[in-house]
Amino acid sequence: VTRLWMCAKLLGEDRRRVLASAGADTATLDLLSVLRRSGEPYQLTTRQITEQTGVTAGAISQRLARAENAGLVERSSAAQGSRLVLVTLTAAGHELVEQLVDRVLGREAELTSILTEQQQAELTELLRVFLDGLRGELGDPGVAHVGA
């Protein structure tokens, strides 16, 4: 397990560097990815975003404010008199998330090429079995990330 923690730390730090080189961070990628995965029109309520990211409403509010100021998302009311807030991915946000996903997945492919294809397949299967077992034992946090 210690080696898994060490790998996770190294990979997490590398992902942060990759994102920082594009002027983004993991919180931005998480937010934009959730909207992107929702499909056309790339729009969700703030509640749906909170549920899908597993992040508190307060944290989502801060992320949305930063993304809105950067022109990556737009917020609007769901209907007149409604308290529901819709969040829509802008063209700039869609372009950025596509670039970020390409960079992150490209870098992950580069790093996993350390292993042969057979080793990658074996590792993938072993980690799937281990993760399924952990979810059964400890529960599932329900948080998906790029490449998951």
- Is there a domain that residue 95 lies in? yes
Residue 144's pLDDT band (boundaries 50, 70, 90)?
low
Asked, for residue 64, whether it belongs to a domain, the answer is yes
Q: Which domain holds residue 63?
A: 2-138
Domain-embedded: residue 37? yes
Exposure string (b/e) for 37-64, b if CB count within 10 Å is 16 or more? Answer: ebeeebbbebebbbebbebeeeebeebb
Per-residue confidence (pLDDT) for residue 148, from 0 to 100: 42
Say if 146 falls within a structural domain.
no
Whether 133 maps to a domain, the answer reads yes
What is the per-residue pLDDT across 76-128, written as a single tens digit (0 to 9) for each?
987 776 788 999 999 999 999 999 999 999 999 999 999 999 999 999 999 99
Nearest Cα residue to 97 out of 146, 43, 62, 60 = 146
Is residue 58 situated within a structural domain? yes
What is the CATH classification number for the domain harbouring 114? 1.10.10.10
pLDDT at 65: 96
Res 142 pLDDT > 70: no
In a domain, residue 7? The reply is yes
Whether the predicted model's global pTM rises above the 0.85 cut = no
Split into its structural domains, the chain has a count of: 1
pLDDT in tens, 1-13: 999 999 999 999 9
